[in-house]
Structure 1
């Protein structure tokens, strides 16, 4: 039986922190499917710079990822119900409340675990592991 893992995120400007998260998520099972957030659903931070389909295509190109799909426009749990995962992997710094996710999964009859991935520390002083830091550096140098 294939153990399906779902990871999700915005993945606006892909960086080593994203790669670490997705590799760790892939290690939680046999198949990794990534749900890439629609721009309309990103309300906890600045809107993404890149279009959703572009972000999905870049994530899908990563070796650790078996497939990448776009999230649902109105209900972020619809793809989770459709994909029926065994594990949902949450990034170490994602704003999600694990207890709230587990409660909603139970309410919808989705039987899976929610696991939070570990953080990845920078390997060098100048390594940037967040989209915000990358955007800030671009503005600092080219703004």
Structure 2
């Protein structure tokens, strides 16, 4: 590895329905940790812990793939969260600061599959000005307040 990167490959993952500064903060943090950042985009059918995405899977993948910190964006597997992780073979999985995944649970599942990979939690981004929206849900709420 070269430079200051701690890892060769870092995986970030999420829904990325409407991109906002919180997403960019997360992906920049992943880029600071590794030479490559691979992002796994959750399939709409697999998003059960919150309202389903408005944008289609491929559109969300294409938008994330275009971001500077991202080496490659990949759609998640329909049945098994770990299939793309096995294919990418990361050195670290960086979970979003507010994602519902349990770090110890992810570590245990990785170990159970024989995958040697660190798991960390990203930092959150503080709002830089009053009213800055750092959540897709809050963006949709604001749109409804002002446009519906």
TM-score, shorter chain, exceeding 0.5: yes
Runs of 4+ in 1 over 2 A off after TM superposition: none
What is the number of residues matched between the two proteins?
A: 143
Paired position in structure 1 for 2:44: 39
Shift of 1:36: 0.4
Paired position in structure 1 for 2:105: 100
Unaligned segments of structure 2, at least 5 residues:
2-6
Whether 2:69 is the aligned partner of 1:64: answer: yes
Partner of 1:80: helix, strand, or coil? helix
TM-score, length-scaled by structure 1: 0.98
Which whole-Å deviations, capped at 9, do the CAs of 1:36-86 have from their partners, x for residues lacking one? 000011000000000010000000110000100000011111101111100
CA distance in 2, matches of 1:136, 1:18: 18
CA distance in 1, matches of 2:83, 2:48: 18
TM-score, length-scaled by structure 2: 0.95
Paired position in structure 2 for 1:29: 34
Paired position in structure 2 for 1:110: 115
Partner of 2:34: helix, strand, or coil? coil
The Cα RMSD (Å) is 0.8
Unaligned segments of structure 1, at least 5 residues:
none
CA distance in 1, matches of 2:67, 2:89: 22
